[in-house]
Structure 1
C-alpha cells in the first residue's frame, strides 16, 4: 500500500470515529470498533513508513 493511500485511509477512519463518537458516545461498541480499526491503520503506518531510531544501550 502506498504511503498516501494509507494516510488517506487513516484520515477517513479518524473522521468516521469522530462522527460515531459524537452520535453514539466514546464508549459505544461502534466507537470502540472504529477506534480499534484506526489503531490498526496507525500501527501499519508506523511499521511501514516510520524510520526506526536505534537506541543506545
Structure 2
C-alpha cells in the first residue's frame, strides 16, 4: 500500500466518521471505533512518510 492509497482511505474513513458522529453522536461506540481505525491508518501513513524522508 502506498501513500496515495493510504491518503484516499484516510479521507474516506474521516468523512464516514464525521457523518456517523453527526448522526449517532461523537461518543457513540461506532464513532469511537471509526476514530481508532483512522488513528491506525494515520500512524501507518506517518511511518511511510518517515521512511520516504529518511
- Structure 1 unaligned segments of length 5 or more: list them: 53-57
- Structure 2 unaligned segments of length 5 or more: list them: none
Give the number of the structure whose residues are more often helix, by fraction.
Answer: 2
Aligned to 2:42: 42
- The alignment of Structure 1 onto Structure 2 pairs a total of residues equal to 52
Deviation for aligned residue 1:19: 0.4
TM-score by length of 1: 0.85
SS of aligned partner of 1:11: helix
Deviations 1:1-32 (A, max 9, x none): 11110000000000000000000000000000
Aligned to 2:8: 8
Over aligned residues, Cα RMSD in angstroms?
1.1
> Which ranges of 4 or more aligned residues in structure 1 deviate by more than 6 Å?
none
Q: Which structure is larger by alpha-carbon Rg, 1 or 2?
A: 1
